[in-house]
A and B are shown apart, each in its own frame.
Chain A
Amino acid sequence: MKADLKWKLVAVFIILVGALYLVLSKPVKLGLDLQGGMSIILEVDVDHVIQTQYKQLAEDIKKKLKENHIDVLSVKVSKEGITITLLDPAHTDKAFKIIRENFPQVEVKATDGSIKVAYSQRELERIKKLTVQQAVETIRNRIDEFGTLNANVSKLGERRILVEIPGVVDPERAKAIIGKTAQLELLEVIDSAYSKEELLKKYPEGLPPNTRIVEGVPEKINGKTIKEWFLVKDTPIVTGSQLKDARASVDARGKPAVNFELTDEGASIFGEATAKLVGKRIAIVLDNKVVSAPVVRSRISKSGQITGDFTPEEAADLAVILRAGALPAPVEILEERIIGPTLGRDSIQKTVRAGIFALVLVGLFMIWRYAISGFISVVSLLFNGLLLWAAMVFLDVTLTLPGIAGIILNIGMAVDANVIIFERIKEELKRGKTLRVAVEEGFKRAWDAILDAQITTLIAAFVLFQFGTGPLKGFAATLSIGTITSIFTALFITKLFLDIVLGGKKTLKYAF
């Protein structure tokens, strides 16, 4: 054997050992469509956050202007920004300056008594990014708190979040845990009634300033379902962000409830406020619904209780969610896919059978058509499979059902390069060239054709990778990795073994 062949053989051996090591070192990651599980795509309502921030900002600006003795006629807040109308247009310039100096994060435009305030594009982007980031972290926290869900949470594009939970899950429970905003607010109740209309009727001149109406949770009392409506102060006394702990428990009547405890800071604010509110009611509001509205008997500082129509499981889940914190903005479920475990198992079984069938058929055909070389191409095909698998482990590619289809398709396509070469060699042999020369010519001439042909497959696979979601990305991955490894095995492995088998022989029966 020639020296260069020996070295090549050593190289192949090293690659073989390396690939085997990778394949045996850890199993390839299975997609949810194969192992079963749930995947959800959520969209974070960032506009909501921006509007909330504008509301807060409007309050701050109003306060600042008041300090400087500028009277404000009206303030309008939308998701595009804040429009402030001054009582006296002569103050426009002064107000403009004050806002610019005190609120450097916003852009201010002033025209004749009306001032428009909005975040800069950059600031908006920053807020949006931060919000989505926070939402991702909150969801991760919630999942960590649960411990049992082995979920994967990741950002998807600008404002979306992908949550993947493998295994058997109760979809509704999982969604409640992940998607609940869990914004807890403790608010001072000003008034209440048993319908919205009734409540509104009490205020014919419009609601008092800085208040809002919040709906209660329907309750069953003596077989009748009633729902209370509350007029509350707009700004909460404390919110969920001042929560130290939350635990599931039972209320006085033995029904499931959630006990919460405030942080020291929250407790002192809450204590001060409740001292003034003895005999009045406070509303415990969760995601814009009053879950309960107890009467303050005495100063409350640290702890409180959320009661409602919970099952024990719901109470436990709510405690976990409150502990993990509220989402910075509501989220909406855009897409949801749930695959039971049996379907994935079936799919694996069936596709593996199809794969073996394809492999055997293609292998037998190659040996029949190309004899010894055909056998070599089958070895090369197996090698290709091994490399493909090893590359998937190495690159941490997730194997999905379409991914398996990609591998099977690859079996048919991988022999293509071999076929192009062998047909070319046969042609050269027909022209009377010796075996040696024919093989060299065949490989040289086939090179262009193989490259051009495979690159087109790669183009399609690449676009697919960009556009595809989950499972289809797996297809694009196996197709493109397989295409690359098949070029390598055809041009290197097949060539090497051919060189070894043919040696310096001028002719060999059944070589092709």
Chain B
Amino acid sequence: MRHFLDTPPSIDFLKIKKQGYILSTLLVIASLVVIFTKGFNLGIDFTGGTSIQVRFEEKVDIGEVRSALKLVGLEDAMIQAIGTEGNEYEIRVSLKEGKSAVVVEKVKKALQQKFGKKFEIRKIDYIGAVVGEELRKASIYSIVAVLIAILLYVGYRFEPVFAIGAVIPLFHDAIITLGIFSLLGEEVNLSVIAAILTVLGYSLNDTIIIFDRIRENIKIRGKKNLLQLVNQSINENLSRTIITSGTTLFSVLALYLFGGESLKGFSLALLIGIIFGTYSSIYVASPLIVDLENLFRKRSRAK
């Protein structure tokens, strides 16, 4: 049992590459549709505003919190439960209600009126409009910067075809991760963006290990019958792909399950990203090399 996959299997992964393309395209399109119709639950990192995390001594219904806030005119505040114990909430108030001092004072007053002194404010974040806008821009720039840096690095270490084959799946992974966040209504904040950047690095790591094997096999056998060669490279690498994705997934899962509420969004993004990153190295990156290579070869022959 412990020797699973010691002998590389000969699974014809790319037999269903068309289906792979279709599935990936559908997932990306669906993600984009969800993102553009439903939008994101953006955290105050990006929207600006005040976020207050409150823990009550006893279980409190979300409706009670809402009605308490109504008393001080904060009925537009967003209230999110934190954890599953039902005694901790995040209250998000938009910038138009004023600066943190005003908002915090109001919220404290409201909660005191309704619940007495049986609560603790654990965290207050205030982000002004300028910073929110900047962070939004910086997030987009940094994702683009990572993609360009990766394109250049892979292009330098491998052939251009490989570089394209490595970067397209990254878009795929990032878009699907964001799509799932949009679908679930999970908060997108700075740490989620950080997780996506990490996923870009990790997903590529996975792709590169396969590419490395493809490169090695090309050196030995040349580019004839590339499809079969890529297939074999995936098979030879299968044990490693499964094992490292597995250990990384273990770690992230531990983080997601036991790491506390503050890291939930972050580890969820990593979790989704790693799963799709592993899938995309096999079903997006690898077939892309075969098809791009064929395409270029046909072109140059046509000339």
Q: Are B141 and A337 in contact (CB under 8 A)?
A: no
> With the chains together, A409 CA to B197 CA distance in Å?
14
What is the bound-complex CA distance between A468 and B45, given in angstroms?
12
A510 CB to closest chain B CB (Å) equals 10
Is A343's CB under 8 angstroms from B262's CB? yes
On whether A350 and B130 interact (CB within 8 A), knowing A365-B247, A457-B201, the answer reads no
Contact A335 B126 (CB under 8 A): yes
The size bracket of the interface on B is 35 or more
Q: Judge whether A449 and B209 touch: CB under 8 Å.
A: yes
Task: Check A419 against B251 for contact (C-beta < 8 Å).
Answer: no
Q: Is the CB of B247 within 8 A of A415?
A: yes
Query: In whole angstroms, how far apart are the Cα atoms of A375 and B132 in the complex?
Result: 48
A285 to B281, CA, bound (A): 68
Complex: how many Å from CA A30 to CA B85? 28
A41-B131, A456-B208 are contacts. A472–B123 as well, Cβ < 8 Å? no
* B204 contacts A416, C-beta separation under 8 Å: no
Q: Is A469 close to B, CB under 8 A?
A: yes
Question: Contacts A350-B259, A365-B246, A455-B153 given: A420-B240 contact, CB under 8 Å?
Answer: yes
B window 113-148: CB within 8 A of A = 120-128, 130-131, 135, 138-139, 141-142, 145-146
Return chain A residues, CB-CB under 8 Å to B258: 350, 353-354, 357
Q: A148 interface residue, CB < 8 Å from B?
A: no
Closest residue on chain A to residue B143 by CB atoms = A463
Which residue of chain A lies nearest to B249 when distances are taken between CB atoms in the complex? Answer: A412
Does more than half of chain B's interface fall in helix, strand or loop, or is it mixed?
helix
Q: Quick one: which of A419, A464, A476 contacts B243, CB cutoff 8 A?
A: A419
A127 on the B face (CB < 8 A): no
Partner of A472, one of B128, B130, B194, B212: B194
* Chain A min CB distance to B222 (Å): 19
Q: Is B239 an interface residue (CB 8 A)?
A: yes
Q: Is the CB of B6 within 8 A of A456?
A: no
Give chain B residues whose Cβ lies under 8 Å from the Cβ of A175.
101
Chain A: minimal CB distance from B155 (Å): 12
A313 within 8 A of B: no
Closest chain A residue to B248 by CB distance? Answer: A412
B 244-272 to A, binary, CB cutoff 8 A, 1 in contact else 0: 10111111101101111011001100100
B142 near A463: Cβ-Cβ < 8 Å: yes
Q: Is the Cβ of A415 less than 8 Å from the Cβ of B153?
A: no
Q: Secondary structure at chain A's binding surface: helix, strand, loop or mixed? A: helix
- Segment of A2-10, A181-189, A322-330, A423-431 in the binding face: A423-431
Number of interface residues of A (CB under 8 A): 74
- Residues of A330-362 at the interface with B, using a CB-CB cut-off of 8 Å, are 332-340, 342-343, 346-347, 349-351, 353-355, 357-358, 361-362
Q: Is A448 among interface residues, defined by CB-CB distance under 8 A? A: yes
Known contacts A333-B128, A339-B123, A460-B146; A351 and B205 CB within 8 A of each other: no
Complex interface: chain A residues within 8 A of B197 (CB) = 460, 463-464
A456/B204 in contact, CB under 8 A: yes
B300 at the interface (CB under 8 A from A): no
Interchain nearest-CB distance for A377 vs B (Å) = 11
Task: Decide if B6 touches A467 in the complex (CB within 8 Å).
Answer: no
How far is the CB of B46 from the nearest CB of chain A, in Å?
12
Residue among A172, A353, A463 facing the most chain B CB atoms (10 A cut-off): A463
**Contact yes or no, B249 A456, CB < 8 A:** no
Contact of A449 among B2, B145, B212, B248 (CB under 8 A): B212
Whether a CB of chain B sits under 8 angstroms from the CB of A207 is: no
Contact B259 A337 (CB under 8 A): no
Q: B236 an interface residue at 8 Å Cβ cutoff?
A: yes
B247 touches A334 (CB 8 A): no
- Indicate with 1 or 0, residue by residue over A488-499, a CB within 8 angstroms of chain B CB atoms: 000000000000
Instruction: Judge if B190 is at the interface, Cβ distance under 8 Å.
Output: yes
Which listed residue, A412, A445, A467, touches B247 by the CB 8 Å rule? A412
Answer whether residue B100 sits at the interface, using C-beta atoms and an 8 A cutoff.
Answer: yes
For B121, the chain A residues whose CB sits under 8 A away are 340
| B100 close to A336 (CB less than 8 A) | yes
Q: In the bound complex, do residue A336 and residue B194 qualify as a contact, i.e. CB atoms below 8 Å apart?
A: no
Given contacts A369-B243, A423-B239, A426-B6, contact A464 B254 (CB under 8 A): no
Instruction: Determine the distance from Cα of A423 to Cα of B124 in the docked complex, in whole angstroms.
Output: 49
Q: Is B217 among interface residues, defined by CB-CB distance under 8 A?
A: no
21 contacts between A and B (CB under 8 A): A172-B101, A334-B127, A334-B131, A336-B124, A337-B124, A337-B126, A350-B258, A355-B254, A357-B258, A361-B250, A365-B250, A408-B251, A408-B252, A413-B205, A420-B209, A430-B7, A452-B211, A456-B201, A459-B150, A460-B197, A463-B142
A contact residues vs B (CB 8 Å cutoff): 33, 41, 43, 171-172, 175, 332-340, 342-343, 346-347, 349-351, 353-355, 357-358, 361-362, 365-366, 368-369, 371, 401-402, 405, 408-409, 411-413, 415-416, 419-420, 423, 426-427, 430, 445, 448-449, 452-461, 463-464, 466-469, 471-472, 475-476, 479
Excluding A335-B131, A362-B247, A411-B251, 12 further A-B contacts by CB distance (< 8 Å) are A338-B123, A342-B120, A342-B122, A350-B260, A357-B254, A365-B250, A366-B247, A411-B247, A419-B240, A426-B239, A456-B153, A456-B205
